[in-house]
């Protein structure tokens, strides 16, 4: 049957495309082309009381059996009584957006943990404009989430001076309206839920070739997997020395099996990758090689901070951290937060306390030093950290500082050729004026592990060298030149990994009352307000007894350099994000309770099985005694019965009576064939 459609706003019939005599419905007042009606009214009285096919239901009934047109499919959805209003709306949206997968279920979520998670995120993280799952989500300061394209379209329709939220009509900051930031936490959560739904981890694992050290080329090389030119994605060449990755002190002749020389002071390499091959400094990007609980083995002077000082035989070194390296950045000139004695900075402090030797390499990229090489990377010998402290850096944030003093048996590369001796112990440390305003000063108290021996006249280990925690691993399998290495599956359930994505950038825990700043960073409400506790939003200024205009107090985001002072005046909790976190936590609690009940049931079953096994063993022992025809077995059985009966008796009379019964039982046993 041909579909029946009304006229559009211009009076043109949507069936034949022509203008003609129309008839209006008495219920909805929609005009219809009389010629295109399947059953037009025959009299004027019927025309006055006429209901259109939509209001009377005739169009719906005919559309169920109609073709596959858009309107027919919409009417088919509306006529399905098994669907709720929400499910009908979702089906209409899928049909209009072109994402409908047929006439199956409304939800495409799979059964199980992953499908439920994607359904949960789909319910909570819906764009308030297009009503679809968020695509490139943008979070407004008022706590609402939108797709990036939807947000930009909404902002583009508004006037230049009035930018408001599509949900609550609160004003949106001008900078955010001009440059909206994508909320990376929501992006990672949706991506993880989708990947877990498609069961990517259960497919064929990726296999990467592992090349043995002796099979590697002599220089750094690139493979077909490299995406950038040069050595940006290069693989390390052959390691020529036999030292572990956490080796302290100089690299001697014993660790150089090919040249029998070791790593000499003044030896220069082309770049950091080649320097790594000789073990002077293993990390090819990081400036510190070390472990927080073990100590630091080497440092590289390359770039660094503007307040570093290099005097050759001693230098002031600034620790790592304090710079925003998000977005896959390798370096950042601006410092955005304080440095602390953690991770690699703590490794340097451990070497300071223990007096461990630290290898130092200088790069030609160190432009502020007069002792840096003209080109390449140069090994400058052994240094020792004498003091470490914290101070306010040139950019206003605290930095960790270290005093390195040279203590090598070979002369420095910048000394004269006639100076064949190495360093001598200093009577006093170099003067450091900044120590007067320093905090958290750490100085070695005991005997250093690496010190000068007056009798031998050289620097040597005064204490046993620290044992390696990593070791030098070299594959000795001659049959195969490569072996397959599989990526280990990440531990924890999908819900646990999702909750980790919703962590606060200050306390590193799952967010409580999450706040999303205009720069798209997520924090706990208590953590963010606590970071600016005691600070006022304006500064009161005076000059010569006169009051000046109040100045705005700049409050930088703890994760970047953007000013969030206006946002902090009235921060709004991201309710959608909070609902997702609470739902995940509740589901995890329910699963843990179910697991505990299952474990208790398994333990009870195991105990019951053990009791049954013991009972069966006892029955088997008694049967063996009864079936034995020998007199010895009969006597043993009678003694066993008597002893067991005596233990259960409460008085001497009962004991005698039970003994008689046992004797009768023995006679019965003797009569057995």
* pLDDT averaged over every residue in the chain: 78
Mean pLDDT of all residues in 372-390: 96
Would strands 295-301 and 357-363 be described as parallel, antiparallel, or unpaired?
parallel
Nearest to 539, CA basis, from 528, 529, 531, 547: 547
Distances (CA, A) of 565 to 329, 427, 458, 476, 518: 26, 52, 59, 61, 11
Interatomic CA distance for residues 301 and 267, integer angstroms: 15
- Which pLDDT band holds residue 264 (cuts at 50, 70, 90)? very high
Phi, psi of 278 (to 5 degrees): -105, 5
Q: Is 54 helix (H, G, I), strand (E, B) or coil?
A: helix
User: What are 542's two structure tokens?
Assistant: 């005076």
Q: So what's the pLDDT on residue 387?
A: 96
Interatomic CA distance for residues 176 and 183, integer angstroms: 12
Burial 340-378 (b: 16+ CB within 10 A, else e): ebeebbbbbbbbbbbbbbbbbbbbbebeebebbbeebbb
547-578 pLDDT tens trace: 777 778 888 888 888 888 888 888 888 888 88
For 290, residues 6+ apart whose C-beta sits below 8 A from its C-beta are 246, 296, 297, 298, 344, 347, 348, 350, 351
Q: So what's the pLDDT on residue 637?
A: 36
Q: Is 402 helix (H, G, I), strand (E, B) or coil?
A: strand
Interatomic CA distance for residues 364 and 405, integer angstroms: 21
User: What are 547's two structure tokens?
Assistant: 């009051």
Q: Is 344 helix (H, G, I), strand (E, B) or coil?
A: helix
Q: So what's the pLDDT on residue 378?
A: 97
Nearest to 190, CA basis, from 576, 585, 593: 576
Q: So what's the pLDDT on residue 645?
A: 44
Interatomic CA distance for residues 297 and 287, integer angstroms: 11
Interatomic CA distance for residues 427 and 372, integer angstroms: 27
Interatomic CA distance for residues 501 and 126, integer angstroms: 18
Q: Is the pLDDT of residue 301 over 80?
A: yes
Q: So what's the pLDDT on residue 663?
A: 45
Q: So what's the pLDDT on residue 418?
A: 54
* Residue where the block lists tokens 């043109």: 12
Question: Which CB contacts under 8 angstroms, 24+ apart, belong to 174-179?
Answer: 175/518, 176/140, 176/141, 176/518
Q: Is the pLDDT of residue 665 over 90?
A: no
Q: Is the pLDDT of residue 326 over 60?
A: yes
Secondary structure in 3-state letters for 466-493: CCCCCCCCCCCCCCCCEEEEECCCCCCC
Burial 574-609 (b: 16+ CB within 10 A, else e): bebbbebbebbeebeeeeeeeeeeeeeeeeeeeeee
- Which pLDDT band holds residue 351 (cuts at 50, 70, 90)? very high
Distances (CA, A) of 257 to 64, 238, 409: 84, 13, 22
Phi, psi of 284 (to 5 degrees): -95, -5
Length of the chain: 673
Distances (CA, A) of 148 to 94, 162, 384, 445: 20, 19, 53, 58
Range with the largest mean pLDDT of 170-174, 307-311, 485-489, 605-609: 307-311
Nearest to 561, CA basis, from 393, 335, 355: 335
Q: So what's the pLDDT on residue 53?
A: 81
Interatomic CA distance for residues 148 and 129, integer angstroms: 11
- Strands (DSSP E) found in 503-645: 514-516, 522-524, 538-539, 542-543, 546-547, 551-552
Q: Is the pLDDT of residue 473 over 80?
A: no
Q: So what's the pLDDT on residue 336?
A: 87
383-395 pLDDT tens trace: 999 999 999 998 8
User: What are 643's two structure tokens?
Assistant: 């002893």
Q: So what's the pLDDT on residue 100?
A: 58
Q: Of all residues in the chain, what percent carry a pLDDT higher than 70?
A: 75
* Residue where the block lists tokens 């007067």: 436
Mean pLDDT of all residues in 530-540: 84
- Which pLDDT band holds residue 198 (cuts at 50, 70, 90)? low
Range with the largest mean pLDDT of 45-49, 197-201, 631-635: 45-49
Q: So what's the pLDDT on residue 316?
A: 96
Lowest mean pLDDT among 208-212, 466-470, 652-656: 652-656
Mean pLDDT of all residues in 438-445: 94
607-628 pLDDT tens trace: 666 556 555 555 555 444 334 4
91-122 pLDDT tens trace: 887 777 665 554 334 344 434 444 566 666 66
Higher pLDDT, 50 or 481: 50
Q: Is the pLDDT of residue 63 over 80?
A: no
């Amino acid at each position: 049957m041909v579909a029946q459609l009304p006229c559009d706003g211009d009076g043109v019939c949507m069936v034949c495309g022509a203008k003609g005599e129309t008839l209006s419905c008495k219920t909805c007042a929609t005009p219809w082309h009389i010629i295109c009606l399947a059953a037009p009214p025959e009299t004027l009285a019927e025309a006055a009381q006429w209901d259109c096919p939509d209001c009377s239901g005739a169009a719906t009934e005919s559309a169920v059996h109609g073709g596959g047109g858009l309107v027919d499919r919409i009417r088919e959805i509306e006529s399905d009584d098994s669907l709720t209003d929400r499910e009908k709306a979702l089906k209409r949206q899928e049909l209009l957006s072109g994402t409908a997968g047929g006439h199956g279920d409304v939800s495409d979520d799979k059964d199980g943990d992953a499908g439920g998670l994607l359904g949960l995120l789909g319910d909570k993280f819906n764009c308030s404009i297009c009503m679809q799952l968020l695509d490139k989500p943008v979070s407004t300061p008022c706590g609402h989430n939108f797709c990036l394209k939807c947000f930009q379209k909404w902002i583009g329709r508004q006037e230049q001076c009035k930018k408001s939220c599509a949900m609550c009509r609160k004003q949106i900051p001008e900078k955010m309206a001009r440059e909206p930031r994508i909320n990376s936490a929501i992006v990672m959560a949706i991506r993880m839920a989708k990947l877990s739904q498609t069961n990517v981890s259960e497919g064929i694992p990726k296999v990467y070739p592992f090349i043995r050290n002796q099979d590697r080329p002599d220089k750094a090389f690139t493979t077909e997997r490299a995406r950038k030119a040069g050595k940006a994605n290069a693989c390390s060449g052959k390691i020529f020395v036999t030292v572990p990755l956490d080796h302290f002190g100089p690299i001697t002749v014993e660790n150089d099996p090919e040249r029998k020389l070791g790593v000499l002071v003044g030896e220069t390499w082309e770049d950091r990758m080649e320097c790594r091959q000789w073990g002077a400094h293993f990390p090819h990007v990081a400036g510190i090689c070390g472990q927080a609980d073990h100590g630091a083995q080497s440092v590289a002077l390359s770039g660094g901070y503007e307040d570093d000082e290099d005097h050759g035989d001693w230098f002031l070194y600034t620790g790592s951290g304090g710079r925003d390296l998000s977005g896959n950045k390798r370096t950042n000139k601006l410092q955005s937060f304080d440095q602390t004695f953690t991770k690699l900075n703590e490794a340097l402090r451990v070497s300071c306390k223990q007096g461990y030797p630290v290898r130092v390499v200088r790069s030609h990229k160190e432009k502020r030093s007069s002792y840096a090489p003209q080109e390449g990377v140069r090994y400058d010998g052994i240094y020792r950290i004498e003091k470490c402290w914290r101070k306010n850096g040139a950019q206003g944030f605290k930095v960790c500082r270290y005093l390195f003093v040279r203590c090598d048996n070979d002369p420095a590369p910048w000394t004269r050729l006639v100076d064949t001796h190495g360093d001598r112990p200093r009577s006093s440390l170099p003067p450091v004026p900044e120590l007067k305003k320093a905090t958290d000063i750490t100085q070695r108290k005991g005997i250093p592990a690496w010190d000068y021996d007056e009798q031998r006249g050289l620097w040597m280990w005064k204490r046993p060298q620290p044992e390696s925690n990593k070791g030098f691993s070299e594959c000795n399998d001659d049959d195969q030149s490569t072996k397959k290495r599989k990526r280990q599956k990440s531990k924890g359930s999908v819900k646990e990994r999702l909750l980790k994505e919703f962590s606060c950038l200050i306390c590193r825990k799952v967010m409580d009352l999450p706040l999303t700043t205009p720069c798209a960073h997520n924090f706990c409400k208590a953590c963010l307000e606590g970071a600016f506790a005691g600070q006022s939003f304006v500064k009161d200024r005076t000059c010569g007894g006169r009051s000046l205009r109040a100045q705005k107090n700049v409050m930088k985001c703890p994760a970047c350099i953007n000013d969030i002072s206006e946002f902090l005046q009235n921060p709004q909790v991201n309710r959608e994000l909070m609902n997702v976190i609470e739902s995940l936590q509740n589901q995890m609690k329910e699963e843990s309770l179910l697991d505990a009940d299952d474990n208790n049931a398994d333990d009870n079953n195991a105990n019951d099985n053990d009791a049954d096994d013991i009972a069966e063993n006892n029955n088997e022992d008694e049967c063996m005694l009864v079936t034995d025809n020998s007199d010895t077995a009969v006597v043993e059985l009678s003694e066993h019965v008597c002893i067991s009966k005596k233990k259960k008796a409460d008085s001497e009379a009962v004991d005698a009576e039970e003994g008689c019964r046992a004797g009768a039982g023995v006679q019965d046993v003797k009569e057995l064939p």
